[in-house]
Amino acid sequence: MALRFGEKTVLDGVNLEVWPGERLVVMGQSGSGKSTLLRLILGILIPTAGEVRLSGRKLSGLSRRQLNEIRQRVGMVYQYSALISSLSVRDNLALPLEELTRKKRDEIDQLIGEKLESVGMSGAETKLPSELSGGMRKRVSLARALMNEPELVLYDEPSAGLDPVISTVIDELIISTSERTRAASVIVTHEMESAFRVATRMAMLYQGKIILDGKPEEFKESKDPVVAQFIAGSTEGPIGEGIEDERKAEDNPRGRRGRRRRE
């Protein structure tokens, strides 16, 4: 699969599969295409070449109604929770079911209670997002993602903006949710401690390509200089050279082709 914006290639020859119960962590630098990959999985973007399939169905060419039916099988946990500030926790969780299903209010309320309990947020139904801490909002976001009993859950930087203790709580929720529901999970992150904690499998994006796809142990033992540098967080290595080349190009008006498209 490939994705291009004009002359800019964002993803090139990416081939990934994820299976029930598997937790695939996708790593890479900022701007490497991690969040773009999630948008492709959701059908928000269409690949320039290749295809995206969910439960065996090709996303491109589907009608809006068909695409919405497929999306009901996918839960999304956004980087900054993306809760609607004017709605209570109850109404935030109810919204996808009210818009996409014909469930009655009592059915929806029962599901809300179950999902909030599963993430340790029982009794929070009447609270507004502004009354919750960052970790609480993230847990509510996870509860919302589970409302349709999804087959696949996508996580975009689930530990972003959280302290180490709360990050560990969120990681443990990701693991327990995966083990309880057997849903497949794709987790985008650059937090190495979190990545190794939750992953059953890892993939690294670099310059639009997957340069390594394997078990966490393979990443720890990898001799690939890019992988080793990224995991260590070192400033020495090929990633730094790439950043320096990019800075030089941006500082040179003749060599500049415009700002890079960010995720």
In this prediction, residues 68-96 reach a mean pLDDT of 92
Residue 214 has pLDDT above 60, yes or no: yes
In this prediction, residues 250-255 reach a mean pLDDT of 42
Looking at the chain, the whole-number percentage of residues with pLDDT higher than 70 is: 91
Helix H or strand E encompassing 204: strand 201-206
Query: What residues does each domain of the chain span?
Result: 3-215
CB contact at 8 A, 138 and 162: yes
Instruction: Report residue 230's pLDDT band, with 50, 70 and 90 as the boundaries.
Output: very high
Q: Is 81 helix (H, G, I), strand (E, B) or coil?
A: coil
What's the pLDDT score for residue 262? 39
Closest by alpha carbon to 74, among 45, 37, 41? 41
Looking at the chain, the whole-number percentage of residues with pLDDT higher than 90 is: 68
Residue 120 has pLDDT above 50, yes or no: yes
Q: Is 27 helix (H, G, I), strand (E, B) or coil?
A: strand
Assigned token pair, 116: 């909030």
Instruction: Report residue 263's pLDDT band, with 50, 70 and 90 as the boundaries.
Output: very low
CB contact at 8 A, 4 and 180: no
What's the pLDDT score for residue 241? 54
Instruction: Report residue 247's pLDDT band, with 50, 70 and 90 as the boundaries.
Output: very low
In this prediction, residues 91-107 reach a mean pLDDT of 91
**pLDDT per residue over 181-203, tens digit each?**
999 999 999 889 999 999 999 99
End-to-end CA distance of the chain: 17
Architecture of domain 3-215: 3-Layer(aba) Sandwich (3.40)
In this prediction, residues 62-73 reach a mean pLDDT of 85
What's the pLDDT score for residue 115? 96
What's the pLDDT score for residue 68? 82
In this prediction, residues 89-110 reach a mean pLDDT of 92
Crossing angle of helices 238-251/225-232, nearest 10°? 90
In this prediction, residues 56-64 reach a mean pLDDT of 85
- Dump the DSSP string for 241-260: HHHHHHHHHHH-TTT---PP
pTM, entire model: 0.86
Closest by alpha carbon to 97, among 52, 61, 144? 144
- How far apart CA 11 and CA 209 sit, in angstroms, is 6
